[in-house]
Structure 1
Amino acid sequence: MSFQKHNYAKSLLLTALLSASSAFADTVWLNNGDRLTGTIKSLDAGYLVIETAYSGNVRINFNDVKTLSSDTALVVRDTSLQRDYRAKLVAAEAGTVTLNGVARQGDAAEPVSQAVALDSIKRVVRPRPFLNEASFSGRIDLAASQKFASTDTKDYTLDSHAQLRHGMWRHRLGADYTRSRENDTDSTYNYGAGYSLDHFISRKAFWQGRVSYRRDQVEDLTRQVSYGTGPGYQFWDDELGSFSVSALLNRVHYKYKDGYSEDDYAASLRWDYVRYFMGQEIELYTRGEVLRSFNGETDFAINGEVGTRYNVNSTLSLYLKYARHQVSGSRSGLNQSIYSTGLGIKW
């Protein structure tokens, strides 16, 4: 009897825990009778993304959704693009959802609690808190190929980016490595790393400090070192992507293969853009820096990349990327274009 009571108590506890966990989860009801619980991440281009504990990110055609609910307020935009809502979603009749929160149209805002048709909703985004606990994310892109013919060719590419965010601070670290060999002779061999620290003054404005290093074992320009500081602006940062720019005053150092070195001050413009489509399945991105020297022999420099990515799931992706490294001036500079495709790993 005591054994049965013990099992009964465990069952009650388990049921209570499951009920509590589902009570603090977003829920999506489908037209076929299925129900998914987790965290609603975004709605864009007709695809709803919900993060579940059992299957990771799940993409759902929004036409298959019967109704849905959220535990916290989301940013909702209607198809007319005239109204934005900051509201909780409350399950309603089939094909509708109730919005409880605030509606904004231009500069005007008013409380709202009304049922709207699902087909009147164009976009849903989960807002990211301005002040948050420490969060760490990153990605590594890998590509390698080897060809045996009249000439033996080996190509290796590695590119990594990591970000740590806590409170008013954001740390970003990036590193890359590229090497191409033909018959044991390097045709391309370079690597570099960069670190930036952002301190947010407001929700969008921040002050940035940055240092970068690049080494080349083949070209005449063998080393580039830059460090600088300046203001930046975060236009947006949510589940559908992010876009930020910064303008820096830099101190740059160049060293050449013949031993000549050059130091100068320069101004630079940096950018970082990411946009997701098709329920975060497709990703377009570009990041880089354009630098202009004030009075040195080196006039102009650019380090940047642009690419697209197919996200197989929340961890693995396939990417295609073009990277550009160029330094122009009166001395022998640098002019590299690198195309790569491979596998990406995200955490």
Structure 2
Amino acid sequence: MLLRTPLCLLIISLAAPVWADTVWLNNGDRLSGEIVLLDGGKLALKTKYAGQVLIAWKDIDTLRSDKPLLIRRQGLDSERSNQLEAAGQGMVRVVSERTQTVPLASIKRLIPPRAVLQDRFWEGNLDAKLDMERDDDDTDEWKLKGNTRMEHGRWRHVLNGELERKVKNRAKTADNWQLEYDLDRFITDNWFWRVGAEHNEDELAFFTRQRSLGTGPGYRFWDNELGRLDVVGQFNRLQLETRDTDLALNTYSLSWDYKRLLWGTRLEFYSTAEVQLPDIEQIDYVLDGEIGLRYRLNQWARLSLLYELDQVRGLGQSSSERRYLLGVGVGW
């Protein structure tokens, strides 16, 4: 009997999930979970009973966290805490190299530190758009855009894909797909080297098929719970095919990948773009860019708004194609 009780307690403690963070509200309620981040006056708390919830920072009386957090206070640089302890109404005790009690109102941001070189990290998005018009013209259009990235150790894999179909009055007006794969090897915590390949096919375009293979250095400015910014410069070998002939040329490119979570992770702003400079006189540059917003409906569903710009300049003239896409998607 004496051994049975501690044995049962041990089994229960091992089976139960560990929720190390606790938040006390001004109305006396208490919430337990895991702090995702604090930004824009909203604390994102992941709970086992209600998923991720957003709490107004001004409604919090005090809190406790047993895990390290990066703290940004008004007028001060970011500092790392070993843990946070509850310390009375509107206050919290920051335990680090020097323990101090500070007002909650002075804290503007909390971010769990993410290891720059991780054992394994995977994220991605898949967005879909469907447009059906029945007026003077019958138009059916659908488009899928997806991306995913996985990191393990000093390696990172990035995959992007796109598929578009459009039919107007039973005549096909768009039929194309695109697939791009990049492999990054981190040399330091910020510098990496990229090797990438891309394949495009467009049944109705002048160049029906495009292939490219490129390599070059990249720099990661930051990558944390709030977002990321990567910039990559590459040398590329591009092959273009038409129904009659083929063309091969070299290009130099500069690309970026930016993401920023807002409003306690509920809203995501992102932008990706690539500028290519071909080594032929007829073309000055080729720009392929997009800017978008994703609104989190729940843990996995997203509402997305996207603006795309494709632009080519050569022989003193510019040609641009702009698209606005509204759709739904999933994220992980």
With the length of structure 2 as denominator, give the TM-score of the two structures: 0.91
Tell me how far 1:54 sits from its aligned partner.
2.7
Report the equivalent of 1:30: 25
Alpha carbon RMSD of aligned pairs, Å?
2.4
Note if contact 1:138-1:162 (Cα within 8 Å) is conserved in structure 2.
Answer: yes
2:44 is the alignment partner of 1:49: yes
- SS in structure 2 at match of 1:119: helix
Letter in 2 for 1:69: R
Alignment correspondent of 1:306 = 291
Q: Show structure 2 runs of 5+ residues with no match.
A: none
- Matched residue, 1:100: 95
Gaps of 5+ in 1: 102-110
Does structure 1 residue 73 correspond to structure 2 residue 75?
no
What is residue 279 of structure 2 aligned with on the other side? 294
> 1:124 — aligned with what?
110
The DSSP-based 3-state class of the residue aligned with 1:221 is coil
The 4+ residue runs of structure 1 with deviation greater than 4 A are 8-11, 327-330, 332-335
* Contact preservation (8 Å) 1:263, 1:296: no
**In structure 2, distance between residues paired with 1:294 and 1:96:** 61
Structure 1 residues 255 and 328: alpha-carbon distance in aligned structure 2, compared to 1, 3 A threshold = farther
CA shift digits 1:28-77 (9 cap, x unpaired): 22222222222211111100111223322211101111111222211111
CA 1:17 to 1:231, structure 2 compared with 1: closer, same or farther past 3 Å?
A: same
- Letter in structure 1 aligned against 2:212: S
- Tell me which residue corresponds to 1:106: none
For residue 173 of structure 2, what is the aligned residue in structure 1? 187
Question: How many residues are aligned here?
Answer: 329
Matched, 1:83 2:68: no
* Amino acid paired to 2:65: S
Deviation string 1:166-195 (CA, Å, 9 cap, x unpaired) is 011110101001222101212222210101
Match in the other structure for 2:140: 154
In the alignment, what sits opposite 1:213? 199
Q: Deviations over 1:250-279 (max 9, x none)?
A: 11111234x222111111001001111111
- Per-residue CA deviation, residues 94-118 of structure 1 (Å, 9 max, x unaligned), is 21111122xxxxxxxxx32101000
Code of the aligned partner of 1:209? V
Shift of 1:135: 2.2
Cα distance in 2 for residues equivalent to 1:129 and 1:241 = 14
Q: Aligned to 1:127, what secondary structure does the other structure show?
A: coil
The correspondence of residues 236-255 of structure 1 with structure 2, limited to 5 A, is: 236-255=222-241
Cα displacement (A) at 1:297: 4.5
Residue 229 (str. 1) matches residue 226 (str. 2):
no
SS at match of 1:319: strand
Q: What displacement does 1:27 show?
A: 1.9
- Is the 1:219–1:334 contact (alpha carbons within 8 Å) kept by the matching residues of 2? no
> 1:16 is matched with which residue?
13
Shift of 1:333: 10
